[in-house]
Amino acid sequence: MRWPPLPAWFVLALCAAGRGAAEPAPGAAAEEVPTVLMVIVHPENPVTDLPLSELRALCKLERQFWASKRRCALYLPPSKSDEYAVLLDRVYRMTHKKLQKYWVQKLFSGDIPSKPEHVPSAKLAVDKVKEEPGALSFLVAGEVPKGVKLVTIDGKKPGEKDYALLAIPPKKGAEDEEP
C-alpha cells in the first residue's frame, strides 16, 4: 500500500520541532534559575516528612487535618511571587485563575470552611507558623528560620537530587496561560 506523503512530512516536522525544543536559545539557560521551595511547620508538629501526594492533598484541602486531629492552617505565598508559581506548577498543577475557581467551588460546596490565606511576605509566613501549631507554609529554600521546622518531601531536603518542589517560574504575565 502506498501511504500518502503527509505522515512522513508530519513525522519529520515533529522531529524538527522536538529538536528545536530540546535546544534552548543561547544565553537562556543562564537566566532560568529554578526556584526551590521548602515546607515549614510548627516545631510541635510531629510530621517530619510528607510524600508529595500528601502535600498536594493538604494544599488542595482534600486533607484538612493532621494526624494529631489539629486543623492544618495553610498559608500561601503572594500570588505574584515565584514561590507561588512553583506551587502552582508542582503542587496544584493548575493556573492561578483555575485555582481561584477551585476555591470558590470548594467553599460553595461546603467542602471547606475557608480558603487558605496568602501571606504577603516570608517574614509573616514564618510568624504565622511560629504562632499556630497547625500551620503549614512555604519559603524559598535557605536557612531554616528559628521557631519553625523543615519538612522533607518524599524523604528529600531542598537541594537534594530529585527534590520535588523546584521549578522555573514562568515569565511575568504568562501565569494564566493554558498549559
Q: Smallest distance from the beta carbon of 45 to another protein, in angstroms?
A: 14
- Measure the CA angle with vertex 97, ends 132 and 113; round to 5°: 40
DSSP 65: B
Q: Would you say 91 and 56 are in contact if contact means Cβ atoms under 8 Å apart?
A: yes
- In the bound complex, what is the minimum distance in angstroms from residue 110's beta carbon to another protein? 5
Site residues, another protein (CB under 8 A): 53, 57, 62-65, 69-71, 78-80, 93-97, 100-101, 103-105, 107-110, 113-115, 117-118, 120-121, 123-124, 134, 176-179
Q: Which is nearer to another protein, 118 or 157 (CB)?
A: 118
Q: Which is nearer to another protein, 88 or 158 (CB)?
A: 88
CB nearer to another protein: pick between 12 and 104: 104
35 CB-near residues (< 8 Å, 6+ apart)? 82, 83, 85, 86, 140, 166, 167, 168, 169
Minimum CB distance to another protein, residue 70 (Å): 7
Side chain identity at 146, as an amino acid letter? K
Q: 94 or 151, CB closer to another protein?
A: 94
Interior angle at CA 50, CA 67 and CA 146, nearest 5? 90
